[in-house]
Chain A
Amino acid sequence: MLVLGLGQASVAGTGAGALVEHLVAGEAPRPQWMDVRTRDGRGRAPWFPADAGGFETNPLPARKLRRLDDFSRMFVRVAAEAAPVRAAGESADGVSVGVVTVSHHGPLRTTFAVLDDMLEAGDDMVSPFRFSGSVGNAPAAAIQQVLRLRGPLLALSGQRGLLGEALWIARSWLDGGVVDRVLIAGGDEVHEVLLHGLLRSEELALDGVPRPLAPGRGGVVPAVGVGALLVGRGGAGERPRTTVSVVQLSSLEEYAAGGTWPVMLVAGGWSAEGEFFREAARLLGPRAFLPAAKLGTVDASEALMSVAAASCLLRGVLPSPLAVTGTEAADEVDVGRRFDCLCRDPGGRGYVVSFRLTTDD
């Protein structure tokens, strides 16, 4: 499959270019702080909002965006960056595009807004607009409606492994001739109840510094973000092209010994997967990069991290040493032809989303 478009919104700003600049630059972002309940009272919890200011120049119809909540609106804007339908001037009616979204919590803030309606205003005062926007497939539906895409629509829920599933689904649609392209968008947002939960479970980095490879707990700074890829087959266009494939790993050792390309580790500092990613970092050495060190941890982060990998590949750059796994000798890393994203599926097995440049048809 070819990667035909990329889009993102995160603490880095909007657009693949902003993401690369952020990862290459040396500074770590400063978190914002939210007042939340703790077990015994109140406290502060760090988080990274998405800087969506760049979207103001995006030529999407304001009227259609108006009724969307922030979460769905962010998905739509990122999707529009990745999907060149409008940019190419093609009629939306003539383009067959499927949509797959991935999120762990879905429209979380709107969900709690509905609960707020119930508790504050009474049962009769639940907003139908908010309720509609709280459903898990709301971002996918919003993408279809605003971009006028009428192919199949899927919304997947979960934290890990779903980018691999989404790419499998995309390939099956493309192979079956169901669609010409597939837009995959994944991301999450942050709410104080989630931060409360992370405080109680001690996963939160209380000093606001993300530690994607932290031993034990306390490495996570939650972040808002969405990443999107448009994939398809063939067609005219510039060379070299970027292909994407999914590879299941049978062994981290074998994978690490296999080459010199750089690898983004989709490590978010979660205690349940720390051992896996620390081992990966040890084996990969200076080839391993940790985007979460500079972006925070978006819950369903694989799509955003993949956009980071693909974007760096296209520009032939590596993230800054801050994003490296504590080593500095990055000279022998070959960023020319391939950049991978190392992920972990729900069963604990590793898999790789691999981006490669090719001049082939």
Chain B
Amino acid sequence: MRVLVTGAGCICALGAGSEVVRTALYDGQVPPGSLCRLDSDLSSRPLARRVPPGAERALPDADHLSRTSRMALYGAREAALEAGLLPADEELAARIGVAVGSTTGTTFNNEDFYRRYRAGDTIEDDAVARYLRNDPAAVIASSLGFGGPRLTITTACAAGTDAIGIAARWIATGRAEIALAGGADELSRFTYLGFASLKNSSDEPCRPFDRRRKGLNLGEGAAFLMLESEQSATQRGRHALAEIVGFGSAGDAHHITAPHPEGRGLRKAIEQALADAGVGPDDVAFVNAHGTGTLENDRVEGTVISGIFGRSTPVVATKGATGHTLGGAGALEALFTAWSLRDGFLPPTLGCEEPDPDCLVAPSPRGTILDGARTCAVSTSLAFGGGNSVLVLRRPEGGGAC
């Protein structure tokens, strides 16, 4: 059964809402106020990317929800609205699935509460309860009335990709007709200091695949795709943004933070995803790479990508615009991939002015027009712990009408 994307929503360092984010992405413009450094005593404070101040007011006004859940809800609502499912018919909504990838969003990282707890100061009644009820999938399902299968996935940097892949499988196998899938994560001192301790983050804007790269910039954001069977989309008269045609996943089984030096897990995941899609490397118009701007990730990923697709297949990496949004990354990048396929335009890879020859790929710092003959694209995600997850998307035929 074909799996179509009939709605999308997002919020990130580029702004709030698909139109705003896409415009900023294509223009290569970083909104004022999105670059930041979190308060810390670090001798060198890494750069991070937050939802710009002007977009903050778009977040739902819900103090009882975590920031991750609020961003997730924003993205989910926009996707549901675009898909004509907000509100949804009650009987239909009861069958809609929700799959969310998140890392920080599922971690108890309430530093302020814990400081007061340890110090014996007065602590609020329900800090723990608030953490327990902030499962982002549960928040979305409850808010939108979606009662189908539900999952929260915590495979770190590949969680958003995994959520989309699994939800697509629900639809392809007939377990659900419609499913909302994506990811979200907030900026937090917990992850900010954690990545700093690993020496993985940079105090400058990150430079994916650039020879001068020094590390990643943490980001925050959420993106959601409404996935729908072709039959359901046709019945409801919805247009498709893209089609999810393949998903692959494989582990490196190598190291808790570093990728396998030869990228064996990524290679396997890409091959699986292409086989799942029934396409070959020659059908792929471009690759949206994980491209964190760290030395090892980019070298390994670039080597694997060029080995499979050749050096002439364009590669784009968008974390120079959004930062690394952890659980949100795979979902944001899947959405960007869908846009690029539809629009025939590859956004600039911000930060990559001097491609590192060791990476064997050369993303462009300028936007490029795509060769329209190829109708598929690949989006890759490499996770903490050695997980590798890959999606294959296809441009819908006939302009996307179902």
Contacts and interface: CB of A to CB of B under 8 A. Distances in A.
A150 B154 contact: no
Contact of A156 (B152, B253, B254, B384): B152
Interface residues of B, number: 71
Interface in B17-47: 40-43
**Chain A interface bracket (under 10, 10 to 19, 20 to 34, 35 or more):** 35 or more
Contacts of A37: 117, 120, 123
Interface stretch (B74-82, B126-134, B283-291, B344-352): B126-134
Interface in A241-296: none
B230 interface: no
Contact of B193 (A118, A142, A196): A118
Interface stretch (A16-24, A165-173, A210-218): A165-173
Contacts of B220: none
Interface in B33-72: 40-43
Interface in B81-139: 102-103, 106-109, 111, 114-115, 117-118, 120, 123, 125-129, 131-132, 135, 137-138
Interface stretch (A55-63, A81-89, A108-116, A225-233): A108-116
Interface string A106-127: 1010011011001100111011
Contacts of B118: 119
Contacts of A151: 250-251
Contact of B190 (A115, A124, A169, A200): A115
B238 interface: no
A295 B276 CA distance: 43
A233 to B, nearest CB: 17
Given A115-B190, A128-B197, A197-B129, A153 B387 contact: yes
With a 10 A CB-CB cut-off, give which of A118, A136, A162 has the most chain B CB atoms.
A136
A158 to B, nearest CB: 6
Interface stretch (B5-13, B143-151, B355-363, B365-373): B143-151
B147 to A, nearest CB: 6
With a 10 A CB-CB cut-off, give which of A99, A152, A347 has the most chain B CB atoms.
A152
Interface in B180-232: 189-190, 193-199
B257 interface: yes
Contacts of B189: 118, 123
Nearest to B200: A128
B325 interface: no
B272 interface: yes
B228 to A, nearest CB: 19
Contacts of B152: 156-158
Given A118-B189, A132-B384, A152-B249, A197 B41 contact: no
A144 interface: yes
A62 B150 CA distance: 38
A346 interface: yes
A34 interface: no
Given A140-B385, A157-B106, A200 B128 contact: yes
A105 interface: yes
A115 B128 contact: no
A156 B175 CA distance: 19
Contact of A111 (B108, B117, B123, B251): B108
Interface of A: 37, 39, 67, 99, 105-106, 108, 111-112, 114-115, 118-119, 122-124, 126-128, 131-138, 140-142, 144-145, 147-158, 161-162, 165, 168-169, 172, 176, 178, 193-194, 196-198, 200-201, 345-347
Given A119-B114, A138-B385, A141-B385, 16 more contacts: A115-B114, A123-B189, A140-B155, A141-B251, A144-B251, A152-B249, A152-B389, A154-B153, A154-B162, A161-B150, A193-B128, A197-B127, A197-B129, A200-B126, A200-B129, A345-B150
List the 5 shortest-distance A-B pairs measured between CB atoms, nearest first.
A197-B128, A141-B385, A136-B154, A131-B194, A152-B249
26 contacts: A123-B196, A126-B197, A128-B257, A135-B384, A136-B107, A136-B155, A137-B155, A137-B156, A137-B387, A138-B385, A140-B387, A150-B264, A153-B249, A153-B386, A155-B154, A157-B154, A169-B166, A172-B169, A176-B276, A193-B117, A194-B128, A198-B128, A201-B128, A345-B150, A346-B141, A346-B150
